[in-house]
Structure 1
Amino acid sequence: MEKTKPMVAVVDDDPRLLESLEELLESAGYAACCFASARGLLSHGLSHLDLLITDIGMPGMNGLELRDQVKKVRPELPVFLITGRHEIADQGRAQSISGFFRKPFHAPALLMAISEACKNRDGG
Structure 2
Amino acid sequence: MAGEVNGETAIRILLVDDEEEFVTTLSERMEMRGFDASVAFDGQKAMETLKTRVPDVMVLDLRMPGIDGMEVLERVKKTNPEAQVIILTGHGSYKDEEQARRLGAFDYLQKPVDVDTLVKSIQKAYQQKIESAYAAEPFDESQSPQKRY
TM-score, normalization by structure 1: 0.89
Quote the offset at 1:30 in angstroms: 0.4
Corresponding residue for residue 94 of structure 2: 90
Deviating runs (4+, > 6 A) in structure 1? none
Q: Work out the number of aligned pairs and report it.
A: 121
Corresponding residue for residue 81 of structure 1: 87
Structure 1 CA distance, aligned partners of 2:56 and 2:112?
Answer: 23
Structure 2 CA distance, aligned partners of 1:74 and 1:110?
Answer: 22
Corresponding residue for residue 118 of structure 1: 126
Please, which runs of 5 or more residues in structure 2 have no aligned partner?
1-6, 135-149
Rg: which structure is higher? 2
> Which structure carries more relative contact order (alpha carbon 8 Å, separation 6+)?
1
Quote the offset at 1:67 in angstroms: 0.2
Select 2:109's aligned residue among 94, 101, 104: 101
1:78 touches 1:117 (CA, 8 Å); kept in 2? yes
Select 2:23's aligned residue among 18, 25, 30: 18
Structure 2 CA distance, aligned partners of 1:105 and 1:4?
Answer: 26
Identity %: 25
TM-score, normalization by structure 2: 0.75
Q: Is residue 57 of structure 1 aligned with residue 82 of structure 2? A: no
Q: How does 1:38-57 map to 2 (within 5 A)?
A: 38-46=43-51, 47-57=53-63
Quote the offset at 1:120 in angstroms: 2.1
Please, which runs of 5 or more residues in structure 1 have no aligned partner?
none
